[in-house]
């Protein structure tokens, strides 16, 4: 090639630049597609982890239902030492039961376990005075709760759905609310619909409802000096339910319990006492009970009958103070917090602390109410008796889970009911939008495991 036909240096440089630009473009495209593929892979991996977490939650609620069938007696709560409640594996996923803390538990980390719905006040049965004992509750809001659940009878008068009494008897006649349902609460979430409620009253500091103070909650909430637990600024959601009820049937499941409030005393009571004791002892017990007049609770029957604790243990499960297939809204004295117990007539703040202290000394949860009489005194026990039980037929299982590599966080709260004899889910709420609820220790544990892989 002659020197005149050889490409110039500038032309060669242009070609090189074009080639470099093309190569750079190809490399950029490769990086873009590679990054896109990596993001797609991570998204698919996170999606898979989320599905694993959801399946772990479904496995967790089945496990809770199984535990409900394994209790030592119908209505008992399982011993926390006899089942695992944290870091349970389901394939590559892990789940936890977020429970309610004991007084000795740290307040900056969640506790783990199942919760008893009967440990709370029932919005559909608690009186206005009882509701006013809750932290942050005002008389107006208590009256609004009672008004919300009232129904209009055929005569045009307003009646309370829990007791069938008039509004005057419930103290609600003077309260006027622009928003009422005229039917029972179906969930605690309905509280948000009442005028006068806000997030600080409902949630307190516990914005994610995990019963612990997380770092983002430490400066929030309102301090309620009336809270005898004095652990954290808990909202009303901590202390109320709508799901507590127990079957009103005899222990053999074949018939109703004996209603000891009936006057005269029913013949079934004579039969029960005679079959349990001899005829002379049965007659003696009935004579003392008749002398006491009209009874209002099974605990009152025990106090007036002169029975020993051992005798009462034999007949208590077959006695009732209510008609109907179920008894709604009784508070389990074996599991209720001091805050809830303080709302019960005859107990109050001071005696609530004594009940908690005496309960802690029990080797196993008592199966009847006789044990609280020495603590409350006869007058206090007679006042508290109509509102108390030792049974739990509804549990809440607040289940949080993560999938592979600690990803795909999910959380669902269930309420499981065993009052019909078969555990069934009666409430389900997606709690994941409230944020991380497993605390910093679990987060650090998951991060450590991920680094080790």
Q: Could you report the per-residue pLDDT of 414-449, keeping only the tens digit for each?
A: 999 999 989 999 999 999 999 999 999 999 988 887
pLDDT at 47: 86
How far is residue 151's CA from residue 161's CA, in Å, rounded to a whole number?
6
User: Cis link prior to 264 (omega < 30° from 0)?
Assistant: yes
Whether residue 197 is predicted with pLDDT greater than 60 in this model: the reply is yes
How far is residue 126's CA from residue 121's CA, in Å, rounded to a whole number?
6
| Collapsed DSSP state (helix, strand, coil) of residue 371 | helix
pTM: 0.84
* E-strand stretches of 65-215: 88-90, 93-99, 111-112, 115-116, 121-122, 151-152, 158-159
Mean pLDDT of 357-370: 91
- Cβ–Cβ under 8 Å, residues 120 and 240: yes
Please report, rounded to a whole number, the percentage of residues in the chain having pLDDT higher than 70. Answer: 86
| Collapsed DSSP state (helix, strand, coil) of residue 223 | coil
pLDDT at 17: 82
Mean pLDDT of 232-251: 90
pLDDT at 219: 57
User: Can you list the alpha helix ranges (DSSP code H) found in 261-332?
Assistant: 267-276, 279-291, 298-305, 309-315
User: Residue with structure tokens 């006869």?
Assistant: 378
Pick the closest to residue 110 from 118, 101, 102, 119 (CA basis).
101
Mean pLDDT of 197-211: 87
Range in 9-13, 81-85, 103-107, 345-349 the model is least confident about: 9-13
Whether residue 159 is predicted with pLDDT greater than 60 in this model: the reply is no
Q: Which residues contact 232 (CB under 8 A, 6 or more apart)?
A: 107, 204, 205, 206, 212, 213, 221
For 209, 229, 246, 374, the CA distances from 398, given in Å and listed in that order, are 10, 22, 21, 36
Taking each helix axis from N to C end, the angle separating 348-360 and 373-384, rounded to the nearest 10 degrees, works out to 130
Mean pLDDT of 337-360: 94
Q: How confident is the model at residue 156 (pLDDT cuts 50, 70, 90)?
A: very low
Q: How confident is the model at residue 453 (pLDDT cuts 50, 70, 90)?
A: low
Q: Could you report the per-residue pLDDT of 266-299, keeping only the tens digit for each?
A: 999 999 999 999 999 999 999 999 999 999 999 9
Separation of first and last alpha carbons in the chain: 64
pLDDT at 255: 81
Please report, rounded to a whole number, the percentage of residues in the chain having pLDDT higher than 90. Answer: 62
Q: Could you report the per-residue pLDDT of 206-236, keeping only the tens digit for each?
A: 989 999 988 888 654 443 333 434 456 788 9
């Amino acid at each position: 090639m002659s020197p005149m036909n050889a490409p110039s240096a500038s032309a060669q440089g242009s070609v090189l630049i074009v080639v470099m630009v093309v190569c750079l473009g190809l490399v950029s495209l490769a990086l873009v597609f590679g990054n896109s593929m990596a993001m797609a892979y991570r998204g698919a991996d996170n999606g898979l982890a989320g599905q694993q977490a959801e399946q772990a939650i479904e496995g967790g609620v089945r496990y809770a239902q199984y535990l409900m069938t394994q209790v030592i007696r119908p209505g008992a709560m399982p011993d926390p030492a006899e089942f695992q409640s944290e870091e349970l594996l389901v394939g590559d996923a892990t789940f936890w039961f977020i429970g309610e803390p004991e007084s000795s538990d740290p307040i900056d980390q969640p506790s783990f376990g199942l919760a008893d719905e009967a440990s709370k006040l029932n919005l559909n049965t608690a009186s206005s005075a009882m509701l006013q004992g809750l932290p942050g509750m005002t008389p107006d809001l208590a009256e609004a709760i009672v008004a919300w659940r009232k129904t209009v009878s055929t005569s045009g008068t307003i009646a309370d759905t829990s007791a069938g009494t008039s509004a005057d008897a419930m103290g609600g006649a003077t309260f006027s609310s622009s928003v009422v349902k005229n039917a029972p609460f179906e969930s605690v979430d309905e509280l948000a619909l009442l005028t006068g409620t806000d997030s600080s009253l409902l949630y307190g500091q516990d914005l994610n409802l995990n019963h612990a103070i997380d770092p983002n909650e430490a400066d929030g909430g309102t301090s309620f000096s009336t809270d005898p637990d004095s652990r954290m600024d808990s909202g009303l959601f901590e202390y109320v339910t709508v799901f507590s009820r127990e079957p009103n049937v005899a222990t053999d499941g074949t018939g109703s319990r004996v209603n000891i409030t009936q006057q005269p005393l029913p013949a079934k009571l004579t039969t029960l006492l005679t079959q349990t004791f001899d005829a002379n002892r049965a007659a003696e017990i009935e004579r003392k009970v008749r002398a006491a007049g009209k009874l209002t609770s099974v605990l009152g029957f025990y106090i007036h009958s002169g029975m020993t604790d051992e005798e009462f243990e034999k007949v208590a499960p077959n006695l009732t103070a209510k008609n109907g297939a179920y008894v709604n809204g009784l508070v389990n004295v074996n599991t209720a917090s001091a805050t809830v117990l303080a709302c019960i007539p005859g107990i109050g703040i001071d005696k609530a602390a004594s009940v908690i202290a005496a309960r802690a000394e029990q080797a196993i949860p008592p199966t009847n109410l006789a044990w609280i009489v020495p603590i409350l005194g006869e007058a206090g026990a007679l006042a508290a008796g109509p509102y108390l039980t030792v049974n739990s037929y509804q549990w809440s299982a607040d289940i949080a889970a993560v999938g592979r590599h600690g990803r795909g966080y999910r959380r669902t709260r269930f309420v499981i009911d065993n009052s019909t004899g078969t555990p069934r889910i009666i409430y389900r709420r997606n709690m994941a939008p409230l944020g991380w609820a497993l605390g910093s220790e679990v987060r650090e544990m998951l991060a450590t495991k991920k680094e080790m892989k």
